[in-house]
């Protein structure tokens, strides 16, 4: 009888210990338990794609899991938004948030909302833009470009990184102000656009900092930049603003996940990406494309996103670009 009672007590003790161990150590390991996906809404090979690849590699080292880059170029940089809208809010699906996602809902019919359907993680950097021509082009200035458009109405071909992108919008505004027009040639990403432009398939092009290798190698000529100040990399190149065109166009970007992500997951991702963001290797990679770190934490980036959304609505209304 004593032996049987002892056995029962031992079994009960084991069960209690097991239950206690279960409560202390959850069945699921801490986030993340498998590789993550980072959706980049541009074709592979451009400056943004390349810098984000390094950022993902460095952040993956912090998380102890790979972050796989998924490219989805086209539609002016908005094709990652449907992915976020449909993804589970578990932290395994992330995306870059370029400026066009805040403009598109006011210029076309979309089923997603860049504020409602996302969880901000952090702001990364920002790009400025440049107006470029092939190295062999006779065009030497913005004035030359406008003169050509005046002499040959409706014949000038001008490439951008997509319909509704910032370069497309600002060039539309510039040409309309002068009573001119151009043939718009949109591309899915900077790499293919720069190759076409350097080959002379289009007369001029506007894109973000992905043009750096083509300018440095002498394949393209930079006529003007769109920043508030001259570029540190090309201080001899004027800005559109100082030329009297009243254009300053910057495009900050960051990372976000689907709506409803748990706060601990957001914090874990934020901390990993922040450490990666300030890694000297990432800072150097941004520098290759004339970019700097433009860090904002999750809360501040969320506020910046809301301000960008409201600002784009005002811009679209002012320029009469709305179609919805």
Q: What is the pLDDT of residues 185-201, one digit of tens each?
A: 999 878 899 999 999 99
pLDDT band at 5 (very low <50, low <70, confident <90, very high): very low
Do the beta carbons of residue 148 and residue 139 sit within 8 Å?
yes
Cα–Cα distance measured from residue 18 to residue 217, given in angstroms and rounded to the nearest whole number: 66
Q: CATH 3.40.190.150 in the chain: give the residue spans.
A: 36-126+251-319
Q: Phi-psi region for residue 260, left (φ > 0), alpha (ψ -120 to 50) or beta?
A: left
pLDDT over 60 at 62, yes or no: yes
pLDDT, position 26: 41
Helices (H) and strands (E) in the chain, counts: 11, 11
Do the beta carbons of residue 300 and residue 86 sit within 8 Å?
no
- Within 10 angstroms of residue 245's Cβ, the number of other Cβ atoms is 18
36-126+251-319 CATH pick, 1.10.10.60, 3.40.190.150, 3.40.50.300, 3.30.460.10: 3.40.190.150
Cα–Cα distance measured from residue 71 to residue 181, given in angstroms and rounded to the nearest whole number: 32
Rounded to 5°, the CA angle 295-56-36 comes to 115
The total number of residues written for the chain in this structure: 324
Share of the chain above pLDDT 70, in %: 90
Q: Phi-psi region for residue 172, left (φ > 0), alpha (ψ -120 to 50) or beta?
A: alpha
- Predicted TM-score of the model (pTM): 0.81
Cα–Cα distance measured from residue 276 to residue 59, given in angstroms and rounded to the nearest whole number: 5
Q: What is the pLDDT of residues 233-255, one digit of tens each?
A: 899 999 999 999 999 888 899 99
pLDDT over 50 at 140, yes or no: yes
pLDDT, position 28: 58
Cα–Cα distance measured from residue 316 to residue 318, given in angstroms and rounded to the nearest whole number: 6
Query: What CATH architecture is 130-245?
Result: 3-Layer(aba) Sandwich (3.40)
Q: What average pLDDT score do residues 276-291 get? A: 95
pLDDT over 50 at 23, yes or no: no
Q: CATH 3.40.190.10 in the chain: give the residue spans.
A: 130-245
Q: Which positions ≥6 away from 202 have C-beta within 8 Å?
A: 157, 158, 159, 185, 196
Tokens of 134: 């092939």
Cα–Cα distance measured from residue 211 to residue 289, given in angstroms and rounded to the nearest whole number: 8
- Within 10 angstroms of residue 83's Cβ, the number of other Cβ atoms is 18
Do the beta carbons of residue 194 and residue 130 sit within 8 Å?
no
């Amino acid at each position: 009888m004593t032996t049987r009672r002892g056995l029962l007590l031992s079994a009960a003790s084991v069960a209690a210990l097991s239950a206690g161990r279960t409560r202390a150590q959850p069945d699921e390991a801490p986030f993340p338990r498998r590789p993550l996906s980072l959706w980049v809404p541009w074709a592979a090979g451009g400056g943004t794609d390349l810098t984000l690849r390094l950022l993902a590699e460095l952040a993956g080292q912090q998380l102890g899991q790979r972050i796989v880059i998924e490219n989805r170029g086209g539609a002016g940089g908005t094709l990652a938004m449907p992915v976020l809208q449909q993804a589970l809010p578990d932290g395994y699906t992330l995306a870059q948030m370029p400026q066009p996602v805040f403009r598109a809902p006011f210029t076309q019919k979309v089923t997603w909302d860049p504020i409602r359907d996302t969880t901000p993680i952090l702001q990364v950097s920002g790009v400025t833009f440049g107006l470029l021509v092939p190295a062999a082009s006779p065009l030497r200035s913005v004035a030359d470009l406008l003169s050509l458009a005046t002499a040959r109405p409706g014949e000038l071909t001008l490439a951008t990184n997509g319909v509704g992108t910032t370069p497309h919008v600002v060039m539309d505004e510039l040409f309309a102000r002068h009573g001119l027009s151009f043939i718009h040639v949109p591309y899915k990403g900077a790499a293919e656009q720069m190759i076409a432009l350097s080959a002379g398939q289009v007369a001029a092009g506007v894109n973000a900092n992905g043009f750096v290798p083509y300018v440095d190698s002498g394949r393209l000529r930079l006529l003007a930049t769109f920043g508030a100040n001259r570029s540190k990399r090309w201080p001899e190149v004027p800005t559109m603003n100082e030329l009297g065109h009243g254009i300053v166009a910057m495009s900050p970007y960051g990372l976000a996940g689907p709506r409803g992500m748990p706060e601990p997951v957001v914090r874990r991702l934020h901390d990993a990406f922040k450490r990666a963001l300030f890694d000297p290797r990432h800072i150097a990679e941004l520098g290759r494309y004339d970019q700097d770190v433009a860090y904002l934490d999750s809360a501040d980036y969320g506020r910046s996103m809301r301000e960008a959304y409201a600002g784009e609505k005002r811009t679209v209304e002012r320029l009469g670009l709305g179609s919805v």
